[in-house]
Amino acid sequence: MSFSMKATIRAFVAPKHRLICPTRLWDQILAELARRGKQRHESGVFLLGVSRGEYRHVQDAIFYDDLDPDAYSSGICVLHGEAFAKLWAVCRAKKLTVVADAHTHPAGAFQSSSDKENPMVARAGHIAIIIPNFARAPVQARSMRIYEYCGEHDWIDRSPKTVPGFLYTGLWS
């Protein structure tokens, strides 16, 4: 029987969590999104990790503009087909999968019609996180929006106001 004290404590601290990211990595991702967006345009990232049942553990990240240098040229996040080929190659090489994506918006976090119609990974269960104010610090968890894709452009709101603890970035992550 496999036993993990960290997992046991996390189960008590954040029992509803489905997406788990170490605090240090989450903070680095937010800072990098802010830096890449330069407070002028959206920026985005794929969160890479492992899935264990309904739980997803973030272990790494790859930013949209590392996959497609023109990803932000229009002011919003747009990836072209070749970027996805690079993404899947990175996933294979690292033996990880895309567990979620995140991108910034200029003011409040909301799911735009473009976000709804164009999921970065169009597979049921994919998680998309929208971060307000171009990820300018401090980013409050309650200000973010998290959506789970159901297919056919239908989404479920998993935002912290709706589902507290869905995203866990605390000490026991």
| Spatial CA neighbour of 45 closest among 58, 61, 57 | 61
pLDDT of residue 1: 43
Is residue 168 pLDDT above 90, yes or no?
no
User: Does residue 106 have a cis bond before it (omega within 30 degrees)?
Assistant: no
Q: What percent of the chain has pLDDT over 90?
A: 72
pLDDT band at 54 (very low <50, low <70, confident <90, very high): confident
pLDDT band at 33 (very low <50, low <70, confident <90, very high): very high
Neighbours of 78 (CB within 10 A): 17
162 token code pair: 């709706």
pLDDT band at 6 (very low <50, low <70, confident <90, very high): low
> Is this prediction's pTM over 0.85?
yes
In terms of DSSP H, where are the helices of the chain? 5-13, 23-37, 64-67, 81-94, 113-117
For residue 70, which amino acid is it? D
Query: What mean pLDDT is predicted for residues 6-18?
Result: 63
2-11, 47-56, 103-112, 137-146: segment of lowest average pLDDT: 2-11
100 token code pair: 């979620």
